[in-house]
Every structure is written in structure tokens, then in C-alpha cells.
Amino acid sequence: MTLETVSENRSFGGTQGVYRHKSQATGTDMTFGLFMPELIAHERVPVLWYLSGLTCTHENAMTKAAAQQFCAETGIAIIFPDTSPRGDGVADDEAYDLGKGAGFYVDATQDPWKPNYQMWHYIVHELPELVGENFAIDREAMGITGHSMGGHGALTIAMTHPQRYKSVSAFAPIANPTESDWGKKQLAAYLGEDSAAWRAHDSSILMQERGFPREVLIDQGSNDQFIDLLRPETLAQAMMARRQPGQFRMQPGYDHSYFFVQSFMGDHVHWHAERLFG
């Protein structure tokens, strides 16, 4: 696949790039951000995938999450994919939480979403192959994290493919979408009305059924304005019942914004780096 350079900027000794390519998975042009630390000039480096939340593009976390400094310090790359396919012919909805900007990291099986909304395959298979062919990343040392809808994606992808990811964390994930208005609507639209098909995309259910073979790290703000939609208690209970190694941290006073993500991004990057280099 041909990769087009949209922009490249010097950042903390490394390079923050934005790239565009034609996706076979989505049938559209897709854009992603990639921060490459200075170390990448000398050797292949581990990579952290950051999946963004509802309404976001590749740009939101790239400019607001404050990850580049910590990635430069630790010597890992970080990738910011888009959250959905884009384009004039791509199905959409008037609501902000369905359609463009709200792909929910699933492979849609229902029309009108099925032709383009293949975000699971795009994130898990196509984009890693493309990046690995064009940049000196180590695909044997990948971690994954995300915020809100992206936290949901990170957890479900990592628990489904633990052999692909050495580490997983999440910021305020949509933790129980099969029982939340942030999930039931979207999973029904993309996957159909049979809720049995939704279970593979619910991190609380996956935690109960299989967990993750290594530690997980979850941060949740106690003042999150969307906390009832996120249902963090369901995931925390599943972790305790399974005795899943890791940490679930309720951060006092923090909301759902990127100020929350910024505040703990350093913890997450360093936590992933320890496991990826290990």
C-alpha cells in the first residue's frame, strides 16, 4: 500500500508524523499519526497503540494527550489511528455516537455500515502491517491503550489477541457496552439485534471469561460526567472475581476530558515501556 506523508514535525528529539493511505479494510482513505522517537534511527523500537474515543480523529490525542515527551524518554513509538472510516460515500448518522467518529472498533456485519466500518480488522491487522513495512517498529513488542470508546477497543482487542500485545491499559473505558446506552445502540446497529454477537466486544464479559495473561492498568476519574454510561464498577468487579493481575485506579476529582488523560499519560507510557522492553 502506498503511504502519503501529510506532515512531519520535530518533537522532543523525534518526529511526529501524519500519514494517509488507501485502506483495503475500510475501502476509504485513512489517516493516522505516528510519533517516532530518536532511537528509531538506530534500531527497531516498541510501539504503543492509542485508540481514541467518540467524535475524535487521529489528531485529538496526538495534540492533547501529551504522550510524545514520555515516548521520547522511554524510546517507544506511539500510533494514533482514526476512529472510523471517512468520506462522502461513507454511511453516517446525525447522532455523534454512531457512524463517523464512532466506529467502536468492531467489524460491522449490518448495512449500511458493513462496506466501510471494518475497524477491528483495520486496527488489528491492516495498519500494523502497513506501519511495520514502512517504519522501524518492533511488531513483537506492541502495547495498546485508549480512552473511553478507545479504552473499550484496547481492552477487547488485547484480551482477544493476547499473543499480539505485551501490555494493555485504558483511560475511562466504556467497560460494559452490552448493558449501557453507550454500546447497545452501536452494537445493535453494527452487529445486529442478536446480543450474543455483542459479547466479544464487552471488556467486562471478556475479563470474566478469559482475562489477560499479564497485568492490566485502568484509570478512571471519580468525577467523570459519563461514569454511569461507562460502568467501570462492572469491569472492576470482573477483575476482582477473576483475580486479574493489575491495577484499577479511581482517580479522585478527575473528569472525562483530555486533562484527565494528560495527567496520567506519563504513568501509562512508562508502565507500557517497562513491559515492552522487558
* DSSP-assigned states of every residue in 121-177: HIIIIIHHHHHHHHS-EEEEEEEEEEBTHHHHHHHHHHHH-TTT-SEEEEES----G
Predicted confidence (pLDDT) per residue in 122-148, tens digit: 999 999 999 999 999 999 999 999 999
Band the pLDDT of 31: cuts 50, 70, 90.
Answer: very high
Reply yes or no on whether the pLDDT at 1 is more than 90. Answer: no
**Total domains present in the chain:** 1
Band the pLDDT of 18: cuts 50, 70, 90.
Answer: very high
Predicted confidence (pLDDT) per residue in 86-105, tens digit: 999 999 999 999 999 999 99
Give pLDDT, residue 121: 98
Reply yes or no on whether the pLDDT at 58 is more than 90. Answer: yes
Give pLDDT, residue 42: 83
Band the pLDDT of 75: cuts 50, 70, 90.
Answer: very high
Predicted confidence (pLDDT) per residue in 166-201, tens digit: 999 999 999 999 999 999 999 999 999 999 999 999
Band the pLDDT of 61: cuts 50, 70, 90.
Answer: very high
Reply yes or no on whether the pLDDT at 278 is more than 80. Answer: no
Active site residues: 148, 224, 256
Predicted confidence (pLDDT) per residue in 244-277, tens digit: 999 999 999 999 999 999 999 999 999 999 999 9
CATH code of residue 234: 3.40.50.1820
Mean pLDDT value across the chain: 97
Band the pLDDT of 3: cuts 50, 70, 90.
Answer: very high
Helix and strand element counts for the chain (H, E): 10, 9
Residue 104 has phi, psi (to 5 degrees) of 60, 10
Q: What percent of the chain is modeled with pLDDT above 90? A: 97
Measuring CA to CA, which residue among 67, 74, 63, 72 is closest to residue 18? 63
Give pLDDT, residue 41: 78
Q: What is the average per-residue pLDDT within 40-67?
A: 95
Structural domain including 81 reads 4-276
Measuring CA to CA, which residue among 21, 20, 18 is closest to residue 7? 18
